[in-house]
Chain A
Amino acid sequence: MMISVRDLHKSFGSVEVLKGIDAEIKEQEVVCVIGPSGSGKSTFLRCLNLLEEVTSGEVYIEGDNLTDPKININEVRSRVGMVFQHFNLFPHRTVLENITLGPIKVKGIKKKDAEKAALPLLEKVGLSDKADVYPESLSGGQKQRVAIARSLAMEPRIMLFDEPTSALDPELVGDVLEVMKDLAKEGMTMVVVTHEMGFAREVGDRVLFMDEGIIMEEDVPENLFGNPQNPRTQEFLSKVL
């Protein structure tokens, strides 16, 4: 298993956001997480690289228990890429510097080699001509593709996407989804929190429907979208589809 989650609970103060999540994600699997806002899906995703501290339960990444206090979390995170809703590019660094920072500082790769390795990544996300510009001059869709390239530069085993197209103008969503589709085709293990039902249906191997801090229903997309069993899932899908 690439990712195993066992009885994961997460509270913010007295508010319990995750109320016992169990999940297994296989290598090369693309899992989409859908659900209403406030259902805990982003929090669940952020627990997978410990951006949120886990209140109780266990999270395993390639067999490493993240809740073990002795875990080297920085090393684990270098294997788990994360793409954020608001991109979070480093505004004081050029596109190329955004991409090479991790390889240089975390992996100790020489600057020249890191830059050489970054070029095919920029090509992959369709931004070869933007290597030397600063993020502020990019559109939202371009920023998000740079953010994906930045994560890929670490050669991660898993990619986490936290509503990667929610902050984009509608006409810019397609390019980002294309890049993600290509990644899925190449066999990247992906967990995608998304509101793009079309993407979940087309690209997802499995869809998790979350509500009220638990996984209410999970299935292959055809079944979950075509024939949802849980009334909550039915209600949610009737609103968004």
Chain B
Amino acid sequence: MDFITESHYYRVMPMLFEGLVWTLLITGVGLIFGFILGAIFGFARLSKNKIIYGLATVYVEVVRGTPILAQILFIYFGLSDLMGVNIDKITASIIAIAINAGAYIAEIVRGAVYSIDKGQDEAGRSIGLTRNQTMRYIIWPQAFRRMIPPLGNQFVISLKDTSLFSVIAVGELLYMGQQYYGATFAAFEALTMVCVMYLVITVPTAVYLRRVERRLDV
């Protein structure tokens, strides 16, 4: 018993729990805004209006074509510099997740809506529903179901991406682990537990998603 309570595996845990709370908070809030951005830009990518389509495409390609580490540094240091104000680290992290995930979610939304059979739209329009009503009552509910697996996947990716915010000293999970071994030199134990904490979230999510996916297949 003494061995366990004395060990670094045990003593690192309170710090890691605190880090995990920030990791989940940044991921959760970031993805809520990311989903809103994704829905807006996803529909924009489906637009026949060339300007709207073009702007959305630029957003998606810029975000997907640059590393998220560069994006977080750009938001935290670059934008602060430009605007002459200090952005809070947590806010910067949430913005980074939102903008980054938003681009990927835009492609998820676009793909899911596009995948719904054209006959569904025609059936809706032919009973007299407007374009918006058809989207809202017929296309979107079916598309949303197809989005659940890739959105869950994006959750796992964004959750892991928050570890990069350790570079701006956000007190998320990995950063807290680093703090611990910085003081104790117990890097192996601390990083093992950091990984265990990530896995405790990501593995059940993956299992759950596979179940949902199988159900959607039927």
Binding site for B on A (CB under 8 A): 49, 51, 74-75, 77-78, 80-82, 84, 86, 88-92, 101-102, 105-106, 147, 150-151, 154
Known contacts A92-B142, A101-B137; is A151 also within 8 Å of B120 by CB? no
Binding site for A on B (CB under 8 A): 117, 119-120, 122-130, 133, 137-138, 141-142, 145
A92 touches B141 (CB 8 A): yes
A106–B141 Cα distance when bound, in Å, is: 18
Which residues on the A side are within 8 Å of B137 (C-beta)?
101, 105
A84–B128 Cα distance when bound, in Å, is: 15
User: Can you name 16 A-B pairs with beta carbons within 8 Å?
Assistant: A51-B125, A77-B125, A77-B128, A78-B127, A78-B128, A82-B126, A88-B120, A89-B123, A90-B120, A90-B123, A90-B138, A102-B127, A106-B127, A106-B128, A147-B123, A154-B127
A105 touches B117 (CB 8 A): no
Which residues on the A side are within 8 Å of B142 (C-beta)?
90-92
A216–B193 Cα distance when bound, in Å, is: 79
Which residues on the B side are within 8 Å of A49 (C-beta)?
126
A101 touches B127 (CB 8 A): yes
Which residues on the A side are within 8 Å of B133 (C-beta)?
105-106
Which residues on the A side are within 8 Å of B141 (C-beta)?
92
CB of A64 to closest CB in B, whole Å? 14
Which residues on the B side are within 8 Å of A151 (C-beta)?
126-127
A82–B128 Cα distance when bound, in Å, is: 10
B127 touches A84 (CB 8 A): no
A54–B44 Cα distance when bound, in Å, is: 26
Contact partner of B127 (CB less than 8 A), chosen from A86, A91, A150, is A150
B123 touches A88 (CB 8 A): yes
A77 touches B126 (CB 8 A): yes
Which residues on the A side are within 8 Å of B128 (C-beta)?
74-75, 77-78, 102, 106, 154
CB of B80 to closest CB in A, whole Å? 46
A74 touches B130 (CB 8 A): yes
CB of B143 to closest CB in A, whole Å? 10
Known contacts A90-B138, A92-B141, A92-B145; is A106 also within 8 Å of B123 by CB? no
Which residues on the A side are within 8 Å of B124 (C-beta)?
90
A88 touches B117 (CB 8 A): yes
Which residues on the A side are within 8 Å of B127 (C-beta)?
77-78, 81, 101-102, 106, 150-151, 154
CB of B138 to closest CB in A, whole Å? 6
Which residues on the A side are within 8 Å of B145 (C-beta)?
92
- A sample of 5 more A-B contacts (CB under 8 A), given A77-B127, A86-B119, A88-B120, is A82-B123, A91-B142, A101-B127, A101-B129, A154-B128
